[in-house]
């Protein structure tokens, strides 16, 4: 049974507290990323590659995710931690071409930009072996393993919830057409989307939320027999 992981996307790919500080090889990337997130003005053409490079520097290093989570995005750290909890679904990394990550992003410039950064990273670090597609997510929205889905209502604004349940319903149907092990990583992104996700999730699915401490996570499982919630330790 394939695994499908839906990941709600915020903007920490741009605003991570220590982005680019590992070697400080690009001392301006942190400021330029934050400026773009605040202003929503068109970023410099080089910014995408530089932000991705700053994140890769962390993921290619021996640094502990638990101790250095603020060097990268909440979407990446929490999805990585799904493989550090003792549950059967995530005893090994995802398989390219079989399993799937679906990044749910807001229709804002910074939201789409952040989703594209996360797509680049997940393609390389959440799948084993690494996805062979070599897709440039700055230009395209999907490969065989990672999909970016931009939907209205994911941004925190008045009326932002309007239309979100129906959009999520269509999204889930699109990506789970055959029996799947379905998870929603709700750690990142606009928390106002959580009620809609809960109401439109498939009958057999689960929500995952990693605590900021990075040492525990919450899992809420939905099945025909009811709902269960457990707090699970994260293995370093």
Residue 230 in this model has a pLDDT that exceeds 70 = yes
DSSP annotation string for 134-155:
---TTT-SB-SSEEEEE-TT-S
Question: What number is the average pLDDT over the span 28-47?
Answer: 93
Express each pLDDT in 79-115 by its tens digit: 999 998 878 889 899 999 899 999 999 888 999 999 9
Write down the pTM of the prediction.
Answer: 0.92
* CATH top class, domain 2-12+73-233: alpha beta
Please confirm whether the linkage preceding 227 is cis (ω < 30° from 0): no
CA–CA separation, 108 and 171 (whole Å): 18
Match 């990337």 to its residue by tokens: 29
Residue 126 in this model has a pLDDT that exceeds 70 = yes
Question: What number is the average pLDDT over the span 159-181?
Answer: 78
Q: What was the pLDDT predicted at 179?
A: 66
CA–CA separation, 96 and 122 (whole Å): 11
Mean pLDDT of the chain: 89
Identify whether the C-beta of residue 200 lies closer than 8 Å to the C-beta of residue 169: yes
pLDDT bin (cut points 50, 70, 90) of residue 160 is low
Listed by start position, the domains of the chain span 2-12+73-233
pLDDT bin (cut points 50, 70, 90) of residue 233 is confident
User: Which DSSP state fits 213?
Assistant: T
CA–CA separation, 28 and 221 (whole Å): 43
Chain mean position to CA 112: 12
CA–CA separation, 167 and 233 (whole Å): 33
Express each pLDDT in 194-212 by its tens digit: 877 887 788 889 999 998 8
């Amino acid at each position: 049974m394939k695994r499908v992981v839906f990941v709600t996307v915020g903007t920490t790919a741009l605003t991570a507290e220590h982005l680019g500080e590992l070697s400080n090889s690009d001392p301006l990337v942190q400021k330029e990323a934050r400026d773009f997130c605040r202003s929503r003005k068109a970023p410099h053409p080089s910014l995408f590659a530089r932000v991705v490079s700053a994140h890769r520097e962390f993921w290619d290093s021996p640094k502990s995710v638990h101790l250095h989570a603020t060097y990268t995005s909440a979407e990446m750290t929490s999805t990585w931690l799904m493989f550090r909890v003792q549950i059967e679904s995530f005893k090994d990394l995802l398989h390219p071409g079989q399993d799937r990550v679906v990044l749910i992003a807001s229709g804002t410039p910074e939201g789409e930009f952040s989703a594209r950064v996360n797509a680049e990273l997940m393609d390389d670090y959440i799948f084993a072996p690494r996805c062979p597609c070599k897709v440039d997510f700055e230009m395209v929205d999907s490969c065989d393993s990672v999909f970016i889905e931009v939907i209205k209502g994911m941004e925190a604004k008045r009326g932002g919830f309007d239309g979100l349940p129906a959009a999520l319903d269509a999204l889930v149907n699109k990506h789970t057409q055959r029996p799947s092990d379905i998870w929603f990583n709700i750690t990142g992104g606009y928390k106002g989307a959580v009620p809609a996700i809960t109401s439109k999730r498939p009958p057999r699915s689960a929500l995952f939320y990693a605590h900021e401490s990075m040492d525990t996570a919450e899992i809420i499982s939905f099945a025909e027999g009811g709902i269960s919630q457990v707090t699970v330790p994260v293995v370093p």
